[in-house]
């Protein structure tokens, strides 16, 4: 019986930009079909290669050479976390989130869209607390969003 491939969480490299961009575009289309498209695919690909990977700390979940998900940190902000469609609810997001918490062990914050109930439930299951709701003025899509924060101290409260 062949061994089951394992998922490795590793730093993204510039050569991953194309695969990450394809995953990002596919994931947003699948998980957020209501979201207004503000940028062309070409602009998104350029932004990922020249801005996101160059300025953030991006980690990929790789299995048998294929990227199944990625997370990008900017300091204490989890700026991006996306999975390849068809790979939701398999523990990959949890692995990426664990890496983010390892890299920012005291606190993480993130924004997600209010209508993204699956993401909101995921973050709440992993100890994030809702701290603010907004009408959409703070994002380019104009979509109402939610600010979540995770702090290490949340994990020890009540012990």
**pLDDT computed for residue 1 by the predictor:** 45
**pLDDT computed for residue 159 by the predictor:** 39
Q: Are 72 and 51 in contact (CB under 8 A)?
A: no
Mean pLDDT of 92-104: 96
What's the pLDDT tens digit per position in 39-91?
A: 999 999 999 999 999 999 999 999 999 999 999 999 999 999 999 998 888 89
Report pTM: 0.90
What's the pLDDT tens digit per position in 125-146?
A: 999 999 999 998 888 888 999 9
For 124-150, the DSSP string reads: HHTT-EEEEEE-STTSTT---EEEEEE
Domains and CATH numbers, the chain: 8-151 (3.40.630.30)
User: What pLDDT band is residue 156 in, cutting at 50, 70 and 90?
Assistant: low
């Amino acid at each position: 019986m062949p061994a089951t491939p394992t998922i490795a969480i590793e730093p993204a490299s510039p050569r991953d930009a194309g695969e990450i961009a394809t995953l990002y575009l596919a994931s947003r289309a699948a998980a957020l079909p209501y979201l207004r498209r503000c940028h062309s695919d070409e602009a998104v690909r350029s932004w990922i290669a020249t801005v996101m990977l160059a300025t953030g700390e991006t980690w990929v979940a790789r299995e048998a050479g294929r990227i199944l998900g990625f997370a990008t940190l900017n300091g204490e902000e989890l700026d991006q976390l996306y999975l390849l469609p068809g790979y939701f609810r398999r523990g990959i997001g949890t692995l990426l989130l664990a890496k983010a918490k390892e890299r920012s062990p005291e606190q993480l914050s993130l924004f997600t869209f209010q209508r993204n109930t699956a993401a909101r439930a995921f973050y709440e299951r992993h100890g994030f607390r809702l701290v603010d709701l907004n009408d959409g003025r703070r994002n380019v899509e104009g979509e109402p969003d939610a600010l979540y924060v995770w702090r290490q101290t949340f994990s020890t409260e009540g012990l």
